Amino acid sequence: MGVPLPSAHILPRRARLASLVSQLRPTHFRAPLTRLNAHRIPTLWTLYRGILRDSPTDTIRSHMREFFRARVNIREQGAVTRELRKAHSRWHVFRKAKAGDEHFQTVCMRYSRMIEGTILQAKTDRVYEEELAWYERMRTRPIMTGGYQKPTYYHGPLPRLKPQPIHITGMITWRRRARRRRLALHEILQEHGMLLEAERKFEDSLAAKIRTKRESFELTYTDDYNDWRSPITQGIRGIAKLLDRDKKRLNTPYPPELLEQIKAARREKIANKTRERERERRGEMTRRLLRRMRQSPPAHRLVQMSPRRRRMDAIARGASEVGYVGKVKRALGFKLRDPDAWQVELGKPENRAMLDRMAEEIEKENVRRRSTPPGSEGNAS
């Protein structure tokens, strides 16, 4: 059963409705909206220049210039319309302020101060982030330890760095994996060559037997043996060249300039450790000294030590060589850097007579006080 055709008086009404609805359909441009002259000319010559002309302060003018520059790559029609409405609303406020409206002038001045504060805060944050990044780079910068990283298949002669740069670690890791793959491929190619040679010999022997029977036999590997062998040979030669480069890298000597840098780093390390020991002897608590003082003898030695010996061992782990620490170290038989350093406790040679006299007076006073019964001095007064 066919569909009945519409009556003649309905067709004009349908045509009229279709014309009205087609006008409401959104226009699909072949190019982005921002490329059309209908958009570019009013935006640049009217809106953008009008905003720059009517901006109350230089701060707002710079901000609006950055506002347009940050949105120059927007292509979506809805987003473009939304941002244009923002710009038009601000331009309306700027024109009102320029015309003398006190309320909008106050709003613009407050807006200008807010932008200045935001700029200052952004500048402060940027400086703070740059300082933090600089401190992080200084904390993690590679330092020569004075050691040698001997050449291997994966790298040439290098100085020992702490921490080791990540690109050097990545290079070594990548070359190690590449060498492993090449050796595996070299072994596979050799195996294929052996299989090809076995197939050729089998084919030759089979052809010799068939010839005795005067029968025909088509040779596959014997006639085109070089063509079959060529890819395997080329692959083996390419891998051999790469392995020769690894051996050359292994046998590369240290350049004289690098040796001098490593030796200078070793001298600087020794000098730095010497200065650290001097600071420790002056009383500075360094990380190394704190770690040493927290240590203890091995367990099999610790169980054999008496409580007094354990306490003396803990005291002797300090950096001082005078006072009670020096006395404990001498009692334990330590080799001191300056065996006569304890004599500073006696004072300077020119003051020793005075110090001895003061020590005698103090001793006499202590003897007198010990010989006097408690409370007798108060009763006598």
Q: What is the pLDDT along the chain (381 residues), one digit of tens a residue?
A: 466 777 777 888 888 887 777 666 666 666 677 777 888 888 999 999 999 999 999 999 999 999 999 998 888 888 888 999 999 999 999 999 999 999 999 999 999 999 999 999 999 999 999 999 999 999 889 999 999 999 999 999 999 999 999 999 999 999 999 999 999 999 999 999 999 999 888 888 888 887 777 677 677 777 778 888 899 999 999 999 999 999 999 999 999 999 999 999 999 999 999 999 889 888 889 999 999 999 999 999 999 999 999 999 999 998 888 888 888 998 998 888 888 877 777 778 888 888 888 989 999 999 988 888 766 655 554
Residue carrying structure tokens 């590679």: 142
Look at residue 381 in the predicted model and tell me its pLDDT: 45
Look at residue 73 in the predicted model and tell me its pLDDT: 87
Nearest Cα neighbor of 254 from 378, 361, 159 is 159
Q: Report the length, in residues, of the chain.
A: 381
Q: How far apart are CA 253 and CA 235, in angstroms?
A: 30
- Helix, strand, coil % over all residues of the chain, rounded to 5: 70, 5, 25
Look at residue 53 in the predicted model and tell me its pLDDT: 93
Whole-angstrom CA distances from 123 to 41, 78, 210, 316 are 35, 33, 92, 53
pTM (two decimals): 0.59
Cross-strand pairs, 159: 148
Look at residue 375 in the predicted model and tell me its pLDDT: 65
Look at residue 307 in the predicted model and tell me its pLDDT: 93
Task: Check residue 142 and give left, alpha or beta (phi > 0: left; psi -120 to 50: alpha).
Answer: beta
Give the SS3 label for residue 318. Answer: coil
Amino acid identity at 63: H
Look at residue 241 in the predicted model and tell me its pLDDT: 95
Q: How far apart are CA 306 and CA 334, in angstroms?
A: 19
Whole-angstrom CA distances from 274 to 139, 277, 375 are 22, 5, 57
